[in-house]
Amino acid sequence: MTLEQRKGWADWFEGQGIRFAFYSARLAKEAMETSNEEEEKEDSVEEAEELAEQIDDLSIDATSDISDDSMDEPQISHDPSQSTDIDPRTRILTVHELQSLFLRESPPPKGRSPLILI
């Protein structure tokens, strides 16, 4: 949904007295894929660094021009919580935020009293 559509739904839900939160499975999937790609990239960089160290150890000339800076790339975040919207009602929750919401709002299991912190 667009920001305008979320604003319209937020107004309607509030008018009806309905508690709500926005979540996007597509954005969550993209964030997970991006995270996996970043992990794979980090693994590749670590392997390349280890290989470079091994090559340096085998080299007759001990000097090396390999720089860690050459492997740095800007990180692009697809985290929907980093959105620029001002209205918190229209914010799209991440997977972890949605799970926390479910845990926080769910009733205690039957036969158990709620946990009371003092």
Domain interval for residue 31? 1-37+80-106
Confidence of residue 107 (pLDDT cuts 50, 70, 90): confident
For the chain, the domain total comes to 1
Nearest to 89 by CA among 1, 9, 2: 9
Q: Is residue 65 part of a domain?
A: no
Q: Is residue 48 part of a domain?
A: no
Q: Is residue 53 part of a domain?
A: no
Nearest to 97 by CA among 21, 30, 27: 21
Q: Is residue 44 part of a domain?
A: no
Q: Is residue 43 part of a domain?
A: no
pLDDT at 114: 67
pLDDT at 55: 64
Q: Is residue 21 part of a domain?
A: yes
Confidence of residue 16 (pLDDT cuts 50, 70, 90): very high
Look up residue 33 and give its amino acid: E
Secondary structure of residue 51 in the 3-state scheme: helix
Q: What pLDDT, in 10s, does the model give residues 49-105?
A: 776 666 666 655 444 444 444 444 434 344 444 555 578 899 898 888 888 888 888
Q: Is residue 95 part of a domain?
A: yes
CA 30 to chain CA mean position, Å: 9
